[in-house]
Amino acid sequence: MSSSPAIEPDAPDLVCQLDNVQGMVDALACVRWKRHQDALVELSEHGIVLIVEESGCLQAKVYLQRELFTKYEYGAEGRPRFGISLGLLVDCLNTFSSPGHSNTIEIKYPGPDMELLLKSVDTLNSCIYSEIRTRLPETSAWDYNFEQAGSAPLTFTVKSSALKEAIDDLEWPGSSVQISLQKSPPCVTFRGEGHGDLQIDLMYYANTDLLLAFHCDTEVSYRYKYKFLKATTANIPGNVVRENRGSKLTIGRGGMLKVQHLVSVAKALAPQVESAGYQPPSRIAYIEFFVKPEEPDD
């Protein structure tokens, strides 16, 4: 599946095939929190990365490694980048996907006018074909430069459905949420204050199902804007909940929050086979969110 060593000058930068469009739709929809979002796509021989950003405070990345694809022919020199409308891309990909089926799609870049070309390749007597306009990326994506907070990482892994539930509940109090990690007893606390207060405690020892991992050697506490936190869980696809996956949260230097989800892109297998851990790691898309903390006000 590697590209031929002699690269023809007019060979496309990338031709790849994916045998489950719905998986890609799920992964990309995860980073959709507004109607109109511009995404930056970067192609490399390792895979496709899509980056979305908002107001310098929130960034999301979707990693689709080449192992997810059934065919991945990379013919570019360097790493081509282009801008594309995320909503348009997701909605367009959605049209290739029919419920209950795993549909195979071929993605090619660039088209004659630098478009992104999508084509269905699994039906013999019909074809869906689409071209999506792309843009020159104006700026590079912010490098959030996530660094470890101290000598040891401050991180916990929580069941994704529980995280989503907690963040949904935190809509009521107010506009900012404080996340605190406490060493002993090991505990994560989400707290929102406003016209009412809400505190959600996740104790490590309360239930082995809830906090799947917890590392904290110093107590920390940072505030984040609710709407950005909400964006990190608002569109978690259903299969993440069904497969009982965990989401990993890490607090880096300066309070930068990293939220990671795993979204399965594999073909829908028989139900008894589908469960966390049965998926070969390469059939998983990685979603990362970076959230800047609010300035501490005294």
Partner 1 sequence: MEFSISGNALKTFARSIICLARVGNELVVQASQTQLGLHTLNASRSAYQSITFQSSFFDAYTVSGPQAHFSVLLKAVCSVLRTPVASIDHMSVQLPDHDASKVKWALECYSGMKKTYWITCNVEPDIQHLSLDRGRFPSSMVVHPRNLSKLLGNFQSSLQEITIIATDQTSFPSDAASEIGGKAVEFRSYVDPTKDGDSLLHTQLWIDPSEEFLQYTHAGDPIDITFSLKELKAFLSFCEGCEADIHLFFEKAGEPILMAPKFGLGDGSSSSFDATLVLATMLVSQLQEGVMPEPPVAANSTDGHAAEQVGSEPQERSRQSASEHPSDHTRVWSELSGTATKSVNGSEERPQAQGQPDVNIQRIRDMEISKGGPAGDNAPGPSNSQRPTQMDHAEGSRVRVENNQSFSQRHPSNWVDASEDEDEDDGVDATPPHNEDY
Q: Which residues bind partner 1 (CB under 8 A)?
A: 159, 162, 165-166, 169, 172, 195-203, 206-207, 209-211
Q: Minimal distance in Å, beta carbon 177 to partner 1?
A: 13
Question: 141 or 198, CB closer to partner 1?
Answer: 198
Question: 51 or 162, CB closer to partner 1?
Answer: 162
- 4 φ/ψ angles, rounded to the nearest 5 degrees: -70, 150
Quick one: tokens of 89? 């891309």
DSSP-derived 3-state class of residue 215: strand
Q: Minimal distance in Å, beta carbon 200 to partner 1?
A: 5
Amino acid letter, 30: C
Nearest to 287 by CA among 122, 61, 85: 61
Q: Minimal distance in Å, beta carbon 204 to partner 1?
A: 9
Q: Minimal distance in Å, beta carbon 168 to partner 1?
A: 8
Residue with tokens 């020199």: 77
Question: 48 or 211, CB closer to partner 1?
Answer: 211
Question: 107 or 162, CB closer to partner 1?
Answer: 162
Report yes or no: 263 and 23 within 8 Å, Cβ to Cβ: yes
Contacts of residue 53, Cβ cutoff 8 Å, sequence gap at least 6: 40, 59, 60, 141, 142
Q: Minimal distance in Å, beta carbon 181 to partner 1?
A: 16
Pairing of strands 187-193, 257-264: unpaired
Instruction: State the Cα angle at 198 between 178 and 259, rounded to 5°.
Output: 40
Q: Minimal distance in Å, beta carbon 93 to partner 1?
A: 33
Whole-number Cα distances in Å, 140 to 13, 48, 219: 20, 16, 35
Question: 41 or 236, CB closer to partner 1?
Answer: 236
Distance, in Å, from the CA atom of 283 to the CA atom of 262, rounded to the nearest integer, reads: 10
Question: 88 or 203, CB closer to partner 1?
Answer: 203
